[in-house]
Structure 1
């Protein structure tokens, strides 16, 4: 999908100067495997509100032109019985016709700017998503380090399945522990960079405050989740708290796109964000599952997502 590809390229450009190379490669790998649903929704929202603005402006212009023509050619009332034809018709210039130009018509003159804002949304999401994965797996904890089982096999939790060391080989185990910790350190640094670059791209936009609220809500939700995760009776609540990230990011995408077009988000666009959030949970499908290149307004499309987790956005920390 061209829109998704453009958004991914804009995100790549925003992190092109990340160093050292190993960290840069990690950041790019996160973006390379990511679903571009948030970024594409921002772009689609900008296009949708612009189309609505243009339609309203054109309808208003047509009405004004019609009123003007009626005034020029309409009948006059007064003491006489004849009709009075408006003067100036013969000399009417085409330039006198009312048209919608300039600020009366919504346009996306700064396409690159809108794309940059969409990339900002995408970067913030990828950084928070990676942070969520790290918080759940806790790669620095002792439980993430493999131990020797009764049959001598290496046993590990989550990420440590790839740990090279075993208790039978202490030196290898130490080296593996260091490597695991180093990778985890790089991943949390990558997450910080992604969020920071996303904020930089949205700085001085009307969506910046929404981005701040998104990050703050994420922190509160993950704190609450930590308190619930060991209680099986409220495990569904923990899952809902995780899914709040996707819901909040989709709202951020809509508001970012709309404000990029100098318009408030419409109820229709916000309902599209809710519809997607209800379907995807904590993993976005490929952007093509929700959007296409048909040019139809997203609020007018019928979405069908039978397998919302197919080809989901993968994290560098996914097992």
Structure 2
């Protein structure tokens, strides 16, 4: 098993770097369409053996390869024995897409890993190509959330892909409340250092006993899927973990109270959390994740921690 070498995120100071690795474009493989064309090419999420034969042919036939990180994509092309001009098109440089398409009309786009256009800037390139009346083709191939969904053992008949949750604020809390109410499975991405906090937030919104799974390092040497309740997973991953993370959360069970039909007893929940040793700040955030207004959550959290004793109360 061969793993794609990891790289540091692109340095903000190089955000306007133009082109690198100006190799020859080669000849157009038989069977590929003539004229301007954009291909979105999935790349392995870990094991380099997951690249498809068709993906290799498209990369060989393109005028250039656009990517998020020229170092990471350069390592992949080198492994495949392909020399092409590499153009950086990430969130900081996607404004250059029209100029890149003009210079390299037959363009292949790859993300750092997986299928471009899913939780990365690839969708913006597609929009630019459509605006320029350039045909776009998306190759099937590697992606992280589908294997993680199947590995979870949860219902795959219907699911919602959340991507990355907002990091904080009202939008995050609104998304958590919506996720908790869904009857279908939810799939989301998370960074290693935020995993523990997100699992705790999910447990607060969905309930501690909601089944879920955490999958990391898909197709790599240390691939791991851990299944359990949200509370169990939150405790296991309190200190975070390394690797790319996919979290899968079961939908609301048929017998579980519908939040629209049965308003939760926020005061009783706040008291229970305080008895578990959660701080006033934690309780406030959990209540807000359930849709309570900040001032109301603040007052309930203070009252609950005061009743539980001084060890549970902390200053905001």
Structure 1 length normalisation: TM-score? 0.24
Say which structure is richer in helix. Answer: 1
Q: Which structure has the bigger radius of gyration?
A: 1
Say which structure is richer in strand. Answer: 2
Greater relative contact order, per chain length (Cα 8 Å cut-off, separation 6+): 1
